[in-house]
Amino acid sequence: MVVTVALVGNPNVGKTSIFNRLVGARQYVANWPGVTVSKIEGATEWKGNTLHFIDLPGTYSLSSKSIDEKITRDFLFFSPPNVTLLIADSLNPEQSFYLLIETLEITKSVILVMNSYDEVKRQKTKIDKYELQKHFGVPVVFTSAKTGEGISELKDMIVDIAKGKKLKMLFLIIKNMKR
């Protein structure tokens, strides 16, 4: 199976670093706006599936006020991927929640990727993964682009979402919790 996966997120949350980990690439990574102003594509094989990744420019919203925002918005609207990864910074996740909500208005096949989780653990901070899953209705995977933590779990989740497995199970859990 070929699965198209878009990486979406605010600027400087580690989208390209996660992309590099996912496909084994070495795309240029820098910490200032405008570094990724076009789509970057790469693919990898994972457990008999081809995962085709598209690293989209960083954006705070899909309102398309700048060229890079327009590239991201147009791709999601006109070339919808099978799975969308919303990359968030685990140290400042609330900054990404507006974009997550906008992305969920377009597609339900979203995985919230909490990046820099190694830093969260180093600071001895706790993030309740299951509360995030319940609140947003999407699977959550903790990753570290620096160490590679969570990348295999993320690839497994991508395949499961593309096959419709985990998403339905998660919504059933949430539905039962509301009773």
For 31, list phi and psi in degrees, rounded to 5. -110, 55
Give, as one character, the DSSP assignment of residue 62.
S
Indicate the SS3 state at residue 19.
helix
- Residue 100: how many CB atoms within 10 A of its CB? 20
- Give the global pTM: 0.87
Average pLDDT over residues 121-126: 92
pLDDT confidence tier of residue 67, bands split at 50, 70 and 90? confident
Give the chain's mean pLDDT: 87
Whole-number Å distance between alpha carbons of 86 and 167: 15
Whole-number Å distance between alpha carbons of 74 and 117: 30
Amino acid at 98: Y
- Residue 173's pLDDT is 54
pLDDT confidence tier of residue 63, bands split at 50, 70 and 90? confident
Q: Which of 38, 20, 61 is nearest to 143 (CA)?
A: 20
Residue 95 pLDDT more than 80?
yes
